[in-house]
Amino acid sequence: MSSSEARDHTLTPRLNEFLTKSDIEYAGKFFKLQESSKLSYIDFRSFLNRFNLTYHDDDFLNLCLKMDPNRDNFITWKEFVSYLFLELQIDDNAQDALSTTLPIAQPANIFLSKNRSDILRIHFIDNNFVFASTDSHGIYVTIGCFGDICFWSLKWRMKSIIFADEVPETELPIIELSDKKLIKKSSKTLILDAVILTDLKIICISSVCCDLRFYDCSTINKCILRLYVRNFPYLISALHYHKPIDNKRNAQLIIGDFNGTVRVIDFMKNFELDFRTGSILRQLSHSELMKNIHGTMKCREFVRTHQDVVTQVSFIESVNSFISSAQNILSKSSYAPSVVIQSLSDIHSHSNPQVVFRMNGGTTCFDFHQPSKMLATGGPDFVLRLWDYHMPKKMKASMVGHNSGIQSIFFQDSATKLYSMDKNKIVNVWDVKQARLLQTFQDLTKTFTKNVSVSAFYNEDFREFIVASRRIAYFKCQPKIDLNKTDGFTDMSPISLILFNKLFGFLVTCSKSSSIIIWDVWRGRKVNLILEAHTRLKHNEVDITAGCFDPTQLFLLTAGSDGTLKVWDMKSSELLRCLTVDERVVSVFWLEERIIVVSLKDITELIDLSSMKEKISFGKCWRKCHHGEIKCATVHDLKILVTSCTSGDIIFWNSEMGQPYMRFNVKDPTQQLPAVYKKIFLKSDVHVKQNTRKQKTKQNKTLKNFEERLDFNLAQDSSPLMVQRLLFLLNRPSHFTNGTILAALSNGKIQVWSHHNRREPFITEFDTNCMNGDVITALATDTQNRYLFAGSHFGYIKTWMISNFWYVVDCILSSTINGEIFTSNQVNPKLLNCYQGHKKPITNLIFSDRNEIMISSSYDKSVRFWNLSGQYIGTIGSPMKWTNLSANKGVPPDFNYRIPSDLRSVEIDDFDIESQSQVSNIPRESSEPKTDATGNLQFHDLVQKALHTENEKNEKSHQRSEKPTLDFSLAYKQH
């Protein structure tokens, strides 16, 4: 591969994609020949050129820093090999498709059943059945153990209830005295099993009278007994109805009894017509059925297929066979046939048409996946077993995790997941490929006790699992994402924090459910997944509230709402260190050789944890001077820390000394307040003398007067003005008139401050034109501080041009936009675009300068990508196809932009925006926007027009209650 071809790659070359086994062997010999078996950065670049691997300067530097954790400017053979393993691990995790959501993510919905007796069976029927004509997707049917039948909508609203007719006592078969007494004591016959013949509109029931009853349900509110088959040798324990897909074969009813015998009844084409002819009850004995006296029914009998009670029967279409299972409780042999697959097309040949699976204790339930021909069985010995249809004598795998007999199992997602429920009503979810437990769901144990008999049913179409007795409980099992309503989700819970690692090019997302996901951001795939990263309390999940990287970008620090701090290795995602502070952490900053932890009530300084010493050392003690809980904080490279609390105070700190030097309140930003201190103690102090009452009174005199005055102000305003977010403009030169700090307030305005001016740091404020009740919840800027990005509580993203605002220089400011020259005399910045990115509050914004891509996270569980013009690129973690992005270039020119599925129905009303925040004068009916080489709209042209727009002489006064207009002509213009 030539060097030019390497540069044309969309993504940075990965070593494991280009180096072969012989290349790695050559590299090992090459390293051994070098002095001390290591290469300098320059020599290493020459070494890679031998394999035609070329990198941009920035990419090559990042590659060397990844391999060189010691920062000694040399790469050893061990460091080179460990990096190759890291790339292989990333590829393996991407292929395994790490799941970011629990299979059962929502609690079960539970309600009282309308059936008059315990529910015996649950069925789902399509819209061809009675009562289903009003429901286009079908209905549920629950059958009670005494013949009461309820019809439900898909949302479990009862539509009707009917009762099955009883057989006249004169028609009942002659049975033993004990059974006769049982019948006389009850007005209804006890039902053992029931099945619905959906295409025939018939319900078939087996009872304790050793019979089969066929009910006509073709009319509304009636269930008429039409056919009665009596005098079966044994009680019927299991029923299953199969309708062939091709309609060339007959429909079949499979019956299993208490003696281990299986029967197959074939229904001829004219059975339905003959079934509904006449109004007289037709009766048929078992012997007459076997002699095929009834011309429309043909029965085949497989005597003693099992040696015990048949527990379940089903049909396998692909091999034209029925499958049955039985327990081995009454059998003398411990390895009697537990599961039998009997062929129905070759029963008279000399070859054995049976496939027999044997296991100790038998089988209570099973599920067969036809495409892969995989069989899963569950028994009374608490063990789940996986089998191959072609290898019945050798079990593929066994999974242990239940504490009682297994009652119901089913496959999902092409047999990649297996769900199982035991008699304790505990549902386990298994990874079939790795034979490991994914989740244990225990919500049903509160509703159904251990001794309660329940019926279970899985609706494959709607991925819904239903468990019922006197109550009905249902929940979704890994529900599919409707791409017409949403583009998918990044995590299983709201995203609380996102961080971008510039060294590895990874995006770290942290959620409210205490999960951390590391993404190869430009390839759109997962690198690693950490579940329950912080301690999970009982009935309370610990969400991740703050995080940052160390200066070398090799370690990740996360903080939880319970005050826990954890350090992770970015290469291996291993936990390296864990410690705890007293309060909920608001922000963390990893500076050179120390860490600043900002919690709700105080600020703690820790010694640099990169050395990973066993003993934790605390740094200097910070003063307490906040009247309220700390809301947010930001830090500057010049050792400046700015914090704000719920009372609206903004405090400027010298982070090296731990001392505040300025204090203001956003309600009156021009008046400086005294630094009011609270008495604190060092964590290392053990012997602390208590002050006398006089000393306390003297020390708290100033504090008491200030608190009384502040409490009076708060009483006048029930909702005090607070700071929602703070942002440092790090690239602004040191000048007392340059705005370097932005504070987003709870009234929708943004204040501009300068930390260089210690007398009057407040510069100005401007209105963000938020809707009534909307506030700014996230702030971001680019490296050069040209643009200001803001995310709001209602999910909107706004972009302002700030390169020539709050920035005073001696000469005219020459903007880099198309070479035009603009003066810096405008009062407020220009709003370039505004668009809705999410339907829920935005939590974080990150802007990538190299490819001009905006990344936003929200409480709607998604992290989305946008170009500079506000056009939607995609949602990371979405099931939709991800287009690889370049870390150095913009979006490709031929990229197919579209609108997110959940935002297509958003209706935007036109309104006027003030001239100070005018978007542009481009009309909505203008021609299709042009794109530049990066694939963006000609955003810089729009910026130029926005900066040249003249201010209106008579500005309109807008009330905050008015709903603002969002000009989507820039954001969502489709090609």
Tell me what pLDDT residue 677 has: 59
* Mean pLDDT to the nearest integer, 848-870: 92
Of the pLDDT bands very low, low, confident and very high (cuts 50, 70, 90), residue 332 is: low
**pLDDT (tens digit, 9 = 90+) per residue, 50-104?**
888 878 787 788 888 888 887 888 888 888 888 888 777 766 665 554 555 678 8
- Give the residue with greater pLDDT, 736 vs 846: 846
The pLDDT score that the predictor gives to residue 132 is 44
Report the alpha-carbon distance of residue 12 to residue 814 in Å, rounded.
Answer: 34
What is the average pLDDT score of the chain?
A: 79
- The DSSP code for 753 is E
Kindly give the pairing relationship between strand 224-230 and strand 282-285. parallel
Which residue ranges form the domains of the chain, and what is each CATH number?
15-96 (1.10.238.10), 790-902 (no CATH)
> 278: burial class by Cβ within 10 Å (0-12, 13-18, 19+)?
exposed
Lowest mean per-residue pLDDT among 48-52, 277-281, 719-723: 277-281
- Structure token pair of residue 159: 């539509």
Nearest to 98 by CA among 494, 414, 517, 544: 517
pLDDT at 678: 54
Give 642-666 pLDDT, tens digit per residue: 999 998 999 999 888 888 888 999 9
The answer to whether the beta carbons of residues 142 and 191 sit under 8 Å apart is: no
Residue 715 pLDDT exceeds 50: no
What is the pLDDT confidence band of residue 348, given thresholds at 50, 70 and 90?
low
Lookup: tokens for 614:
């066993």
Q: Is residue 945 within a helix (H) or strand (E), and if so which, with residue range? A: helix 939-948
Which of the 8 DSSP states describes residue 959? Answer: -
Hey, what are 85's tokens? 């393993």
Residue, of 114 and 175, whose pLDDT is higher: 114
Distance separating alpha carbons of residues 466 and 462, to the nearest angstrom: 11
- Cβ neighbours around 364 below 10 Å, total: 23
Q: pLDDT tens for residues 511-523?
A: 888 889 999 888 8
- What's the whole-number mean pLDDT along residues 387-394? 92
Q: Tokens for 757, please give them.
A: 């001016």
Q: Identify the pLDDT of residue 905.
A: 58
| HSE-up of residue 539 (Cα within 13 Å, Cβ side) | 1
The rounded percent of the chain whose pLDDT value lies above 90 is: 36
Band the pLDDT of 366: cuts 50, 70, 90. Answer: very high
Helix axes 77-96, 21-33, angle to 10 degrees: 160
Give 140-188 pLDDT, tens digit per residue: 999 999 989 999 988 999 888 888 877 765 455 444 433 333 333 334 7
Query: Do residues 491 and 859 lie in contact, with contact meaning Cβ atoms separated by under 8 Å?
Result: no
Per-residue pLDDT at 781 exceeds 70:
yes
Mean pLDDT of the region 349-355? 66
Instruction: Output the pLDDT for position 150.
Output: 92
Amino acid 269: pLDDT: 84
With the C-alpha atoms ordered 762, 764, 769, 772, is the resulting torsion angle positive or negative? positive
Given pLDDT bands bounded at 50, 70 and 90, which one contains residue 910? very low
Amino acid in position 317: E
Does pLDDT of 920 surpass 50? no
Range with lowest mean pLDDT among 35-39, 468-472, 682-686, 854-858: 682-686
The residue written with tokens 């505040």 in the block is 660
* DSSP class per residue in 818-875: TT-B--S--SSPEEEEEEE--SS-EEEEEEETTTTEEEEEETTS-EEEEETT--EEEE
Instruction: Give the three-state DSSP class for 325.
Output: strand
Q: Write out the two tokens for 260.
A: 């281990």
Q: What is the mean pLDDT of residues 802-811?
A: 66
Name 81's Cβ contacts closer than 8 Å, sequence gap at least 6: none
pLDDT band per the 50, 70, 90 thresholds, residue 838: very high
Average pLDDT over residues 565-579: 88
Q: Which two tokens stand for residue 192?
A: 């053992």
Long-range pairs, 346-351, Cβ under 8 A, ≥24 = 347/300
Q: Percent of the chain having pLDDT more than 70?
A: 77
Stated pTM of the model: 0.71
